[in-house]
Structure 1
Amino acid sequence: MKLYNYIHSILDTPIFEPKGQKIGTSFEGRDLFGFTFGTGHKKISLIAGNHADEPVGPLLLKKLTNYLSRLETHHTLLKTYTWHIIPHTNPDGEQRNLKWYSYEDNTTDLARYLKHVTRELPGKDIEFGFPIEGQIGSLRSENEAIYNFWKTANTPFNLHVSLHGMRSTYGPWFLIDENWINRTKNLRQTCTMRTKKMGYHLFDLNRYGEKGFKRIDEGFSTRPDSNEMRKHFLTLGDSNTAKKFHASSMESIRSLGGDCLTLVTEMPLFIFPKEERTLNWPDLYLQKWSDHFSKLKLKLSSNELTANECNELAKDIGMIAMPWRDQMCLQWQLIVAGLESI
């Protein structure tokens, strides 16, 4: 059975999570759980929820942990790999954002999203709060707990995937470890084929290295980098914000040794029409759609629009919600392509 085809069974698995290992507590005192499955020589790390307004990655990992917990020990997924999974790294942020979604959803309601979405700013951002021993400490208790959980693997990881999302683009975007660019040609081909087969455009943006984003190919970029993040804000004269960036999960897990392939998914909650030209950064077309969201949010908050009117207006201007199931299929495709790459 091809690895990708497990997605159908995974997505049909309830989101009930088996009893995991308590690995720490959140800032507000909620339990943080990690899961370990399998005995294979390939060590895999999967995390989601570093940005708490991106719920689709946590949904996939909640389903995946339940699915893996039900497998016989001789199953190929457990014999080939050892999985270290944290379905949601930010239970505090999850609780706040549950005002606009349910894990039973398959699409995002725009009006609820605009009214209730919250996201941590730099200085509280879990993705850029990780330690590197001898260089920088943990930003939050969650970061320290995750890092210590990784260390229980006792050997370097082969693959780490941090599942993320975006508010809106015209299609999925995939981020790849710069150290692995020349070894991931097949990964890019596989993810490209799957994305287009599902009827989506690849989001293609050239940020010319800003914050660490360097275009690799259509739909693919290098992942962000904390050093480049700090450099960006220092260039703007904002040393206070620059100091708030610790290491990313990708940098931190690579610091534990080995040559771990690190990947990031960026799946849009909302899709707007593609403009037939190469997008550069900053781009007026992207700004136009950002302005649409800002105007809708303002009109909702001032009661100039009802929720239904907001959602209908979004449809009229060509904005649609990307089904969560499709997002999870493409997230799993990147994970599988990563497994095949290592």
Structure 2
Amino acid sequence: MSPLNTTISRAWQALREQPLHISYLGGEMLYDACDTLARDNADITMEEIGISRLGRPLFALTLGSGPTNITIKGNAHADEPAGIVTCLVLARLLTENPVWQILNDHFRFFLIPTANPDGLARNWEWLDGAFDLKRYFMHVYRDLPCDDVEFGYPASIDTSVQDVRPENMACARFFDTAAPVAAHLSLHSIVFTGGAWFLIAADTNLTPFEPSLSFVTDACVDEGIPLHDEDRGGQKGFTRLREGFHSIPTVEGMKAFFNRSGDTALASDFRINSMQYAMKNCGARFAAVSELPYAFDRALANMTPTGLTRRDLELRRVDQYTIVLNELADTLDRFYDLPKTDDGQFWMDYFSAYLAYRRSSLKSLMRDMDRYADKQATLRDLYDVNLLELRHRIYNSAAGYRLSRFGDHPNADEWGKRYRTCFDQQFDEMASRFQFQVVSLVTQVRLQLAIILAGLIAVGDQETSDLKNE
């Protein structure tokens, strides 16, 4: 093991021995936390890199004196804020922990804690306080494809593209200042999986990344979290590499999938993601994404074959999808002509656009069946289809409750109570049928730090290989 990899291994052990007293951050709390870090540590530079669409500032932290640049971004998707905390914990470790401080001599870190402060603010009702899965389902907000910050980057900073979000332009400019970049990490979360899941910018030849993947796998064992597994057959760019690891989705894969529906406008909403941007424009040779669940059930990673073909099961998914989307349409029709507050109109427009997006996705799914012609369905696939109906009915009831809450008509309170009762019953049914284990924020942050450390291993190994080949 190289001296650098030995240090990285020691850094992981030091992290596991250090108690983390952390919570989700947003708004002024996030600014104050970043400002305190910069004021307490002369080695940390804090700067405002841009302003969001709704006028909120985007901040970045830079630290380390090494020759190799690493870019790290959190909270691209509105409802995935763990990466914010991870960036701040990383900055604290690099300035205060003796083992982690050694990494500053090898690397320079460019951190964007949140790339989506507007989306973060819309999720504050479930973020404020201890995490509760039921509260998450009731109040979650997620940007639609036309506003997706992860898939919203220009081809280059010099490209003139209308409607690129200012957040994406700010992040792109910041990444450009870090060029040449050796590795880029995008920190994401996911609601349900069978365990920890990681996306790697790699083809099927994993040999150069074996030490990094083994490091992450061992970290998951240390944290008591199984690896997720599934096979999407390359859909949207997701190709299974091995248990726990897929390739990153691509703009090409996204466009190809949604073009199948005939909704070319939706397909055109997708631009390159931050991983593609960093590799194309900043020279990154390694890029990875964490997809750490809020809750996992091992059944959702059970790859035991069933007697069903994958195509038959996907047809069942289409049937379930059709039912729950029609139910959402009925809910929206009920509220369409009723008086609403301004917030109520926002949510009506949002859920209407969400329904249109999901229906296009359904059409694409129906026309993409050939992908699964030769595949056998697994127990994981069966559990996932069963979960789809349950979780979407919960979302539908939450939508009805939210529209009632912001209704301006005599029946608003009564309807709100009915939707809340349905929501409670449906959530309890899902909880009784699946054995979900909630993943603590501490575990999410540790495993996001593990994929960052794995990126450092990959970079170090590539540099060593380059020297040998000179």
TM over 0.5: yes
Of 134, 146, 169, which aligns to 1:111?
134
Name the amino acid aligned to 1:123.
C
Of 135, 141, 159, which aligns to 2:183?
159
Match of 1:295 in 2: 393
Give the whole-Å Cα distance in 2 for the aligned partners of 1:60 and 1:211.
Answer: 27
SS of residue in 2 equivalent to 1:303 = helix
Match of 1:185 in 2: 210
Give the whole-Å Cα distance in 2 for the aligned partners of 1:274 and 1:201.
Answer: 11
Q: Does 1:331 align with 2:470?
A: no
Q: Which runs of 5+ in 1 are unaligned?
A: none
Match of 2:374 in 1: none
Aligned pair count reads 336
**Per-residue deviation, 1:35:** 0.9
Name the amino acid aligned to 1:94.
L
Match of 1:240 in 2: 265
Name the amino acid aligned to 1:168.
F
Match of 2:153 in 1: 130
Name the amino acid aligned to 2:145.
P
SS of residue in 2 equivalent to 1:304 = helix
Give the whole-Å Cα distance in 2 for the aligned partners of 1:125 and 1:144.
Answer: 13
- Within 5 Å, give how 1:258-297 maps onto structure 2: 258-274=283-299, 276-278=302-304, 282=314, 283-297=381-395
SS of residue in 2 equivalent to 1:23 = strand
- Conservation of the 8 A alpha-carbon contact between 2:22 and 2:442: no
Greater fraction of residues in helix: 2
Match of 1:172 in 2: 196
**Per-residue deviation, 1:290:** 2.4
**Per-residue deviation, 1:202:** 1.1
- Conservation of the 8 A alpha-carbon contact between 2:230 and 2:303: no
Distance change (3 Å), C-alpha of 1:6 and 1:162? farther
Of 232, 245, 249, which aligns to 1:207?
232
Instruction: State TM-score, norm by structure 1.
Output: 0.89
Of 149, 165, 169, which aligns to 2:174?
149
Q: Which runs of 5+ in 2 are unaligned?
A: 1-6, 26-32, 39-45, 315-380, 402-418, 460-470
**Per-residue deviation, 1:211:** 0.7
Of 103, 106, 110, which aligns to 1:84?
110
Match of 2:467 in 1: none
- Conservation of the 8 A alpha-carbon contact between 2:394 and 2:427: no
Per-residue CA deviations over 1:92-145 (Å, capped at 9, x if unaligned) read: 01111011013x63xx31221111100001110000011222767472101100
- Kindly indicate whether structure 1 or structure 2 has the higher relative contact order, using CA contacts under 8 Å at least 6 residues apart: 1
- Conservation of the 8 A alpha-carbon contact between 2:393 and 2:426: no
- Conservation of the 8 A alpha-carbon contact between 1:10 and 1:63: no
Give the whole-Å Cα distance in 2 for the aligned partners of 1:6 and 1:202.
Answer: 23
- The alignment's C-alpha RMSD in Å is 2.6
Give the whole-Å Cα distance in 1 for the aligned partners of 2:386 and 2:164.
Answer: 34
Give the whole-Å Cα distance in 1 for the aligned partners of 2:160 and 2:437.
Answer: 41
- Conservation of the 8 A alpha-carbon contact between 2:52 and 2:167: yes
Q: Does 1:194 align with 2:310?
A: no
Give the whole-Å Cα distance in 2 for the aligned partners of 1:127 and 1:298.
Answer: 25
Quote the sequence identity (%). Answer: 29
Q: Does 1:28 align with 2:145?
A: no
SS of residue in 1 equivalent to 2:246 = strand
Match of 2:404 in 1: none
- Conservation of the 8 A alpha-carbon contact between 2:278 and 2:284: no
Per-residue CA deviations over 1:195-248 (Å, capped at 9, x if unaligned) read: 234322211111111111111011110000011111111122221111001110
- Conservation of the 8 A alpha-carbon contact between 1:10 and 1:64: no
Q: Does 1:96 align with 2:119?
A: no
- Conservation of the 8 A alpha-carbon contact between 2:69 and 2:183: yes
**Per-residue deviation, 1:11:** 3.2
Distance change (3 Å), C-alpha of 1:239 and 1:6? farther
